[in-house]
A and B are shown apart, each in its own frame.
Chain A
Amino acid sequence: MEKESINTVEYIKIVKEAPEKRKGYGFFAVTLIASILLIVFAIRPTILTITRIKKEIKGKEIMNSQLDTKITTLSSLDKIYLENKESFDSLKLIFPADGNFSLFLSNVDSIVARNGFALTGIIFDDYKGETYKASSTSVLKPKTARVTVSGKVVNIVNLLKDFEALPMYPVVETLSFTNHEDDNGMITFSIGLRVYAIDNNNFYKE
């Protein structure tokens, strides 16, 4: 009976301290190292490659959709432009890019005559005023048109209102007159108008 119990204890001892078990731990460590090496040098690079390609595809998809949008936008803008070409062409005259204020001059001439004034002079100059903030517009640059007219004081307000109703959006910045009538009973008025132009000759070039 005692012999049997000794055998069992020995067996347990053999199981616990067996050299086989130590070797098993060693091979477990080898398995772990091999797994880590395979993960680091085989699986990780392939997953990284896939991730990189996916990222690349995502970037290209965004770029592709942006290009699509641009093409669609340009096509629709081209359609709108062709439909409203006349209106767009009139902008060249309203806001000239080549310093040609012919439309403004003809409008001023007719407005002056309509209000019973006589146009005695008009000069275009660089804008030196302080009321307009040049940074507020990126394309339109202010210019000063000094208009000299002779007429009656009672009509001056209507003349100024007509000036400011022009499609070029001119602004009366200065007005000066002295109530001294000439031989024809007319007074000379000096009017400073802020007008807008574009400082780029190629602005409207297609």
Chain B
Amino acid sequence: MLTSKKEPQSINFLEPVYSPSDIWSKAYIWLTDVGKYLLIGVELVVLGVFFSRFILDKKNNDLTEEINDKTALLSNESWKQKDALFGNYQSLLTDVRKVRENQTINSTIISDLISGIPSLLSLDSFSFTENRVFLSLTSTSFETVKNYETALKNNPDYKDVTFNIVKEKSDIGVKVTFTLTGE
């Protein structure tokens, strides 16, 4: 009885000790072997994320609370008015700087225009309108008029210089118009 079963005479290392043949058993083995490590890996990631969310959510909530507090503070009527007022002043000061820097001092130009008229020419009327100049002059000397015309026409600060000369008895009437180049 004891000697009826024949003992194997060799060991086959290629044959597993236990090799299930049906698919369910194989799936069960896969689940407890590979699937286990897969699940552990996934769970580790998910747990890591779960705990990190505690920290991140706390930070997020703290920031939301802080922002809400600050927004409420800035929404206060007094702060809103101050904000608007300071904004207005800032715009105003910017404009004042622009106006100051770009301001053309026309009084100096008018001074140059009036002082530039030769003493032998008598100024009857003067008009300065936005860079356009009109002069009405009288003189007894034609040469003075011609010299003044040459001087104005050669001045790079003036353009479109026109002289309208009318002889009235002994006097010479001169109407001068020109434009300032503004350079």
| A interface bracket (residues with beta carbon within 8 Å of B) | 35 or more
**CB pair B92 A30 closer than 8 Å:** no
C-beta contact mask, A37-62 vs B, less than 8 Å → 1, else 0? 01000110011011001101100110
| Minimum distance in angstroms from A68 CB to a CB of chain B | 7
A198 within 8 A of B: yes
C-beta contact mask, B117-137 vs A, less than 8 Å → 1, else 0? 000001111111111000000
| B interface bracket (residues with beta carbon within 8 Å of A) | 35 or more
| Minimum distance in angstroms from B2 CB to a CB of chain A | 30
Q: How many A-B residue pairs have CB under 8 A?
A: 175
**CB pair B88 A56 closer than 8 Å:** no
- Please give me the residue from chain A that is nearest to B56 by CB atom: A53
Which residues of chain A come closer than 8 Å to B71, judged between CB atoms? 67
A60 with B63, Cβ < 8 A, contacts A74-B86, A95-B96 known: yes
Interchain CB contact (< 8 A) of B74 among A42, A67, A81, A160: A67
A105 within 8 A of B: no
B166 within 8 A of A: no
B151 within 8 A of A: no
Within 8 A of A (CB), among B64-117: 64, 66-67, 70-71, 73-74, 79, 81-83, 85-86, 88-89, 91-92, 94-96, 98-100, 102-108, 110-111, 114-115
Which residues of chain B come closer than 8 Å to A49, judged between CB atoms? 49, 53
A residues at B contact (CB < 8 Å) = 11, 14-15, 20, 23, 27, 30-31, 34-35, 38, 42-43, 46-47, 49-50, 53-54, 56-57, 60-61, 63-64, 67-68, 70-71, 74, 77-78, 81, 88, 91, 95, 129-131, 136-140, 153, 156-157, 160-161, 163-164, 169, 171-179, 192, 196, 198, 203-206
Q: A30-B30, A77-B82 are in contact. List 13 more A-B contacts (CB 8 A).
A: A27-B34, A50-B49, A53-B53, A71-B70, A77-B86, A131-B131, A136-B98, A137-B95, A138-B91, A169-B103, A175-B110, A203-B88, A203-B92
